[in-house]
Amino acid sequence: MATVTFDNATRVYPGTERPAVDALNLHVEDGEFLVLVGPSGCGKSTSLRMLAGLEDVNAGRILIGDRDVTDVQPKDRDIAMVFQNYALYPHMTVADNMGFALKIAGTQKSEIRSRVEEAAKILDLTEYLDRKPKALSGGQRQRVAMGRAIVRQPQVFLMDEPLSNLDAKLRVQTRTQIASLQRRLGVTTVYVTHDQTEALTMGDRIAVLKDGLLQQVGTPRDMYDTPKNVFVAGFIGSPAMNIGTFPVLEGYAQVGKARIAVPRDVVTGLTAEDKGHVTIGFRPESLDVVPQGTPDAIPVEVNLVEELGSDAFVYGSLTNEFGAAATVHSGAGDAQVVVRVDPRQVPAKGETIWVRIRTGEQHLFHAGSGERISHV
Amino acid sequence: MSQRPPARLQITTAAPDPALLDLPWHVPLEDWPAETLAALPRGISRHIVRFARLSGRVIAVKEIGETVAYREYELLRQLSRIDVPSVDPIGVITGRTAPDGEPLEAVLITEHLSFSLPYRALFSQSLRPDTATRLIDALAVLMVRLHLIGFYWGDVSLSNTLFRRDAETFAAYLVDAETGDLHDRLTDGQRAYDLEVARVNIIGELMDLQAGDFLEEEVDAVAIGAMLVERYSELWTALTDAESFTLGERWRFQARIQRLNDLGFDVGELDITTDVDGTTVSIQPKVVDAGHHSRRLMRLTGLDVQENQARRLLNDLDAFRAATDRQNEDESFVAHDWLTGIFEPAVRAVPRELRLKLEPAQVFHELLDHRWYLSQQQGRDVPMTEAAQSYVRDILPYRPDEQAILGVSAADLHEDADVVPAPRRD
């Protein structure tokens, strides 16, 4: 087992100016499950491949434990890429399917058997060891593939979108399996996905990347509660956070037809770059439906209601007094806000509801830089 | 079973064929009726793959996630455009639903490569002992070619490759690009990892054949895996290494180019540098293109065949030129006469019903072998027409059909996802 350290690790593809990964500093603890997440082109897969030795590191270093592996061949790094190839061999027993890589490496027969048995116990495959893969269910076959990586006892598991070619149902199942298996094994794992739900549900910590730059790293709770900037705020959470930029007048942000009080220290902290505006974020689940006339309440015109049984979401618009849509965006698109409402009291389309951001659940960002404004 | 195409089927294809709509897309691939399937042996795959008949050809259909399907489709299209030996993509179909409304997985459709042989069929045909060596050589050439153009395969294996006979050797084709990536150029790490994955996969596949009694226990699978690494490295070095010599040894330019030609590659671009005082020259091939012999044959005769078949045909063309004493004549005139007077009559001597056995160029290669054998035996120069008659009578009828190799019945395909055809004798 080992820690993993990216020390100012940089990858610049030949012929490009902007680094694909720009001075990444990240430390993964021993046994930790770290998820690299971000939109396509953010540098998450490149970072993983740098760790695997598949991409050159143009500046900085990568360490596994205390060992600098920056210039070490992939096969000598003691890592395992999981799920890269998990076609099973039909004529070999499950045990041989799991252990054949050890056999190639010249490991003693008895040692192979004991490692395979140990892995099978963790994977609930003990009773199938002497059977052929044909006798297994889809999920069991997947576990045999995991077993292949486990018996090698690598220092680090690397997984690059391993669920992307599974159907939705199997994806959710396998997601849970991988996460719980990783906890049982305690092997340091770096996992890449573009799916923030996968990241939130699987990772001990999440690192969000964008344009080759690390935006924030923290626990799922950190990312959800205190996103460091507007990008992370909009990326983490489903449905996505409502985010809008509003002018600040006399200590109030002008949100559509309503006004929201902005703390004094935030107002004084605004910079010239912000041009008298503040960016406010509020999650669909941070809004309460309140009677009209309640202080700080915002009117929302209902465009659509999505009922999911346990929840219901209102998709609506914020209009200003001139009838124009406010500059707000959400997972539902520009000029739309999403509000979670009581599924037993659903408003009708066309109706106007009044909502208020729950105390302490609003997120304030500089309109200029997009950075979070911390306040008391 | 209803043939009604389900609603909202989305078909993306570069080669639209209305017959695509007649296939039962509303049925999971696993349950496709035997009458639609073509009985071809399948490799080891993590997905469900079936071969089906479509307008007189055979297509391979793979159930796979939608994004991955589109990605692989695009990648295969790029590979065909840059002329890498790979299967041709036909299209992607999404929006499949079963009659009960249950959504079905997207499919990627590729063209079945005719006269191609999966390695499992080759091993179960009890071929000569050096088959493994020749397959590994073919795979090493394919990997070097892919790596030269910046393609990282990610999951090199015998299962993800198809082989076509190429004179006495094989030519390898990429069939599965799911894990692949096209880069401007590969890092040493990418090449090394691809090679390591290939080594482990090949050994695993051979061990599996041994476990299933398709390959003798004595065959050293680990050594064969190691051979790939060795062959690949030799070829890579020959194609890409810098070489230095003094200014007086300028013949070494030509020698290097000749060596690359002999390996079947043309030099597209050569980097030449001299040291400060100009006494030492260093050359390094920067762009090399495979297909030296097949391009030359194509230029002379219009025949589109594989590299070693081309080499064999060109040798016969050269022999024809010498025998008819036409060395001083324009090569293309001689080539035309050879084509119409020697090659075409020989290939046409094969009756129609035997034409599914082997590709024409491969038939000609075997004819040359057969003529040599007859001439040896009879101590005289046996003419081609006579050799052809004997070959068609005594040899060809006993060869298996390889255009779309058969060996299992379509009904059996339901039972087992990994069918190996019954062993046959050559």
**Within 13 Å of residue A134, how many CA atoms lie on the same side as its CB?**
11
Q: With contacts defined as CB-CB under 8 Å, which chain B residues touch A103?
A: 207
Chain A nearest-CA residue for B71: A165
Out of A192-201, A345-354, B273-282, pick the least confident: B273-282
Q: How many Cβ contacts (< 8 angstroms) between chains A and B? A: 92
Q: Of A116-125, B88-97, B172-181, B286-295, where does mean pLDDT reach its minimum?
A: B286-295
Inspect the interface and report whether the beta carbons of A164 and B68 lie closer than 8 Å: yes
pLDDT of A284 above 50: yes
What confidence category does residue A321 fall into, taking pLDDT thresholds of 50, 70 and 90? low
Q: A4-233 — its CATH code?
A: 3.40.50.300
Report the range out of A80-84, A297-301, B13-17 with the highest average pLDDT: A297-301
When pLDDT is averaged across residues A194-208 and rounded to a whole number, the result is 95
ipTM beyond 0.85?
A: no
What is d(CA A290, CA B70) in angstroms, rounded to the nearest whole number? 47
The partner residues of A64 in beta bridges, in order of sequence, read A4, A67
Compute the average pLDDT of residues A164-182: 82
- Closest residue in A to B154 (Cα) is A84
The mean per-residue pLDDT over the stretch B346-358 comes to: 86
Distance from CA of B205 to the nearest CA of A (A): 7
CA distance B191 to chain A (A): 8
Q: For residue B196, list chain A residues with Cβ-Cβ distance below 8 A.
A: 74-75
pLDDT band at B318 (very low <50, low <70, confident <90, very high): confident
Question: Does the pLDDT of residue B419 top 50, yes or no?
Answer: no
Tell me the per-residue pLDDT of A217-272, one tens digit each, with 9 for 90 and over.
999 999 999 999 999 999 999 889 999 898 998 889 988 778 888 998 899 889 99
Nearest CA of chain B to the CA of A91: how many Å? Answer: 5
Predicted confidence at residue B212, as pLDDT, reads 87
B165 min Cα distance to partner chain A (Å)? 26
Residue B312's nearest CA partner among B329, B302, B301, B297 is: B297
A-chain CB neighbours of B197 within 8 Å are: 84-85
Please give the pLDDT value at position A219: 97
Q: Average the pLDDT over each of A228-242, B12-26, B411-425 and give the range with the smallest value.
A: B411-425
Q: How confident is the model at residue B125 (pLDDT cuts 50, 70, 90)?
A: low
Confidence of residue B414 (pLDDT cuts 50, 70, 90): very low
Give percent of chain A above pLDDT 70: 95
- Nearest Cα neighbor of A55 from A41, A78, A71 is A71
Question: Can you give the pLDDT at residue A320?
Answer: 66
Using a CB–CB cutoff of 8 Å, tell me whether A344 touches chain B: no
How close A360 gets to chain B, by Cα (Å)?
40
Query: Measured between CB atoms, does A86 come within 8 Å of chain B?
Result: yes
Name the residue with higher pLDDT: B353 or A55.
Answer: A55
Domain boundaries B117-240, corresponding CATH code: 1.10.510.10
* pLDDT for the residue B411: 36
pTM of the model as a whole: 0.79
The amino acid at B150: G
Predicted pLDDT of residue B420: 38
Q: Which of A52, A90, A167 sits opposite B208 (nearest CB)?
A: A90
Residue of A48, A104, A112 best to disrupt the B interface, most CBs of B under 10 A: A104
Contacts of B42 in chain A (CB under 8 A): none
Non-local (6+) Cβ contacts of B136 within 8 A are B202, B224, B227, B228, B231
Residue A145 scores a pLDDT above 90: no
Mean pLDDT for chain B overall: 84
> Do the domains B117-240 and B10-112 match in fold?
no
Distance CA(B140)–CA(B230), nearest Å, equals 9
The minimal CB distance from A85 to the residues B105, B155, B225 is found for: B155
Reported as a pLDDT band with limits 50, 70 and 90, residue B325 is confident
Q: Give the residue on B whose Cα is nearest the Cα of A138.
A: B46
pLDDT of residue A324: 56
Which amino acid would we find at residue B307?
Answer: E
- Chain A residues within an 8 Å CB radius of B416: 90, 134
Question: Could you tell me the sign of the dihedral formed by the alpha carbons of B375, B379, B380, B385, in that order?
Answer: negative
Mean pLDDT value across chain A: 90
Query: Given a cut of 80, is residue B304 above it in pLDDT?
Result: yes
Between A221 and B256, where is the model more confident?
A221
- pLDDT in the model for residue B87: 92
Task: Give domain B10-112's CATH architecture.
Answer: 2-Layer Sandwich (3.30)
Nearest to B190 among A54, A86, A87 (CB): A54
Q: Is A90 on the interface with B (CB under 8 A)?
A: yes
Sketch the domain layout of chain A as residue ranges. 4-233, 242-366
Interface test with B, best of A91, A151, A169 (most B CBs within 10 A): A91
Contact, A5 vs A13, CB < 8 A? no
Q: Has residue A84 got a pLDDT over 60?
A: no
Nearest to A54 among B105, B193, B207 (CB): B193
pLDDT of residue B218: 84
Task: List CB contacts (< 8 A) between B64 and chain A.
Answer: 165
Chain segment B148-205, per-residue pLDDT in tens: 999 999 889 998 999 988 888 889 999 988 889 898 889 999 999 999 999 999 999 9
pLDDT on residue B408: 38
Please name which of B346, B368, B134 lies closest in space to residue B231, comparing C-alpha atoms: B134
Domain spans of chain B, in order of start: 10-112, 117-240, 243-290, 293-398
Contact assignment for A90 to B212 by CB distance below 8 Å: yes
The shortest CB-CB distance from A104 to any of B65, B200, B211 is to B200
**Rounded to a whole number, what is the distance in Å from the CA of A215 to chain B's nearest CA?**
26
Report the amino acid identity of residue B407. G
Is the pLDDT at A117 greater than 80, yes or no?
Answer: yes
Distance CA B295, CA B421 (A): 35
Question: DSSP secondary structure string, B229-285?
Answer: HHHHHHHHHHHH--EEEEGGGTHHHHHHHHHHHHTTEEEEEEEEEE-TTS-EEEEEE
The verdict on a CB contact (< 8 Å) between A87 and B178 is no
The CATH number given to A242-366 is 2.40.50.140
A13 touching chain B per CB within 8 A:
yes
pLDDT surpassing 50 at residue B423? no
Query: Is it the case that residue A370 has pLDDT exceeding 90?
Result: yes
pLDDT at A59: 96
Q: Which of B68, B187, B204 is nearest residue A55 as measured by Cβ atoms?
A: B187
- The better pLDDT of the pair A324, A33 is held by A33
Q: How confident is the model at residue B425 (pLDDT cuts 50, 70, 90)?
A: very low
